[in-house]
Amino acid sequence: MIINRGITKCGDFEFHWGTRTYVMGILNTSPESFSGDGISGPETALVQAQKMVADGADILDVGGESTKPGYQPIPVEEELRRVIPVIEKIAPVISVPISVDTTKYEVALQAIKAGAKIINDQWGLKKGPKLAALAAEKHIPIILMSNQRDKGGFDKGVQRDGSIYSDVITEVISSLTYSLKTASEAGVKKENIILDPGIGFGKTWQQDIEIVRRMKELSVLGRPVLLGPSRKSLIKMILNLPANDRVEGTAAVIAIGIANGADIVRVHDVKQIARVCKMSDAIVRGI
């Protein structure tokens, strides 16, 4: 049974949590992307954005900095150069909300001015706490992810306080509880907070699989959940396929994730996964 988490408003768009699974299409402007899907410029981005919307995307997530393991952070000026022209190009044309995938306050601010309606923070306010105040000021949703790459990395068996971890879901819930509290204290309304367990971010592939298997336990946090397994290493380790050939593996994870409570799925292959969501929703939600 899928739990109804109410409604989140995003401009003229409304997310009615629990009624269906929403599809977030990945619009990557980083040439360092692990899956090789980086976009070369605004014109190319517009073509891809329009195709994703036609294929069933409910949100487009625009990001300019690679977050693959071992990535090198880029200066804010470079991230702005990659991201803002793309959002300026697509925002007046497409009919779905745009999220900006960033941890930098200035990038998020300029993206909102350019037309973005959601902030997607892959560090859950641990690196950019001012993003919460920005979301509160602009009255827009913010996605907060559980990321264990800091202070040794959860995948090495070490928690942030230096102790050995015992349970991945316990750690994820603890991390998201911190992010949720930080956002709330900054004035972000509860209905504008979305949580992401952070598949691939400081967890082993075995831990990622366990998260998908036990996602129902995240319901204690009381907020909608985004699942982002698209083309990631948990699929590579099982199927031994290159990044651009992992759509079936992604589909399997998505279907089970929906059965276990996912409200949004973040994916590269929108057309195929939108169909998976529709079929999974028919079974899980009875629609």
pLDDT category at 36 given cuts 50, 70, 90 is very low
Q: How confident is the model at residue 30 (pLDDT cuts 50, 70, 90)?
A: confident
pLDDT value, residue 145? 98
Is there a domain that residue 246 lies in?
yes
**Of 23-32, 154-163, 271-280, minimum mean pLDDT range:** 154-163
Q: Residue 47: how many CA atoms within 13 Å on its side-chain side?
A: 5
Q: In the prediction, which pLDDT does 34 show? A: 47
pLDDT (0 to 100) of residue 38: 60
What is the spatial distance between Cα 20 and Cα 80, in angstroms, rounded to a whole number? 33
**Residue at 217 is within a domain:** yes
Q: Structural domain tally of the chain?
A: 1
Beta bridge partners of 28: 63
Farthest CA pair distance, the chain: 50
Statement: the pTM of the whole predicted model exceeds 0.85: yes
Which tens digits make up the pLDDT trace of 191-249? 999 999 999 999 999 999 999 999 999 999 999 999 999 999 999 999 999 999 999 99
Q: Domain for residue 219, yes or no?
A: yes
Q: Tell me, what's the pLDDT at 4? A: 75
pLDDT at 271 over 90: yes
What's the pLDDT at 72? 77
Provide the CATH number for the domain around residue 142: 3.20.20.20
Residue 223 placed within a domain: yes
Q: pLDDT tens digits for 122-156?
A: 999 999 999 999 999 999 999 999 999 875 554 45
On whether residue 1 sits in a domain, the answer given is no
Residues belonging to the active site: 232, 266
Look at residue 37 and tell me whether its pLDDT is greater than 60. Answer: no
pLDDT in tens, 146-184: 999 875 554 454 444 544 456 899 999 999 999 999 999
- pLDDT higher than 50, residue 120: yes
Q: What is the predicted pLDDT for the residue at 158?
A: 45
C-beta of residue 110 within 8 angstroms of C-beta of residue 86:
no
Q: Mean pLDDT throughout 24-48?
A: 78
Q: What pLDDT is stored for residue 1 in this prediction?
A: 58
| Model pLDDT, residue 166 | 67
Domain assignment of residue 2, yes or no: no
Is 214 contained in some domain? yes
Does residue 142 form part of some domain?
yes
Average pLDDT over all residues of the chain: 91
Structural domain boundaries enclosing 195: 7-284
What per-residue confidence (pLDDT) applies to 162?
A: 46
